[in-house]
Amino acid sequence: MAGKKIQRKGKRIEYQVRDLLRKVGKCERVPCSGNARAFKGDLQFIYKEKVYKVEVKARKSSFKSLYKWLEGMDILVVKANHKEPLIILPFDTFYKLLAK
């Protein structure tokens, strides 16, 4: 039962992110939501004819620090050793960047 609940939560969040991305471009949920080899990621976002693969992760609390670090900021950059830096920003900031 817990597995089905987690799957439903994952789908719900993917559709929520899809709807947010549709405000600025085209976005569709990937068939089998990234479980099929031919399709990577959870969503396919198209903006200015460029296709982006989007992976969506939702956790109860493991992202708590990210939200705390982002508090009062516009953009958060995180970097693990030997990995490329990642940019984390609220959707509102993302929309404003795309609008420019």
pLDDT of 77 > 90? The answer is: yes
- Please state the rounded mean pLDDT for residues 7-21: 93
Instruction: Please compute, for residue 19, the number of CA atoms within 13 A of its CA located in the half-sphere on the CB side.
Output: 6
- Give residue 34's pLDDT: 58
- Name the helix (H) or strand (E) containing 98: helix 91-99
- Which has more pLDDT, 59 or 38? 59
How would residue 98 be classed by pLDDT, with cut points 50, 70 and 90? confident
Q: What is the mean pLDDT of residues 42-67?
A: 91
Q: Read off the pLDDT of residues 29-45 as tens digits, 9 standing for 90 and up.
A: 998 765 666 678 899 99
State how far the Cα of 96 lies from the Cα of 73, in Å rounded to an integer: 15
Q: Is the pTM of this model over 0.85?
A: no
User: 99: pLDDT confidence band, cut at 50, 70 and 90?
Assistant: confident
Query: Could you give phi then psi for residue 89, rounded to 5 degrees?
Result: -150, 155
pLDDT of residue 31: 81
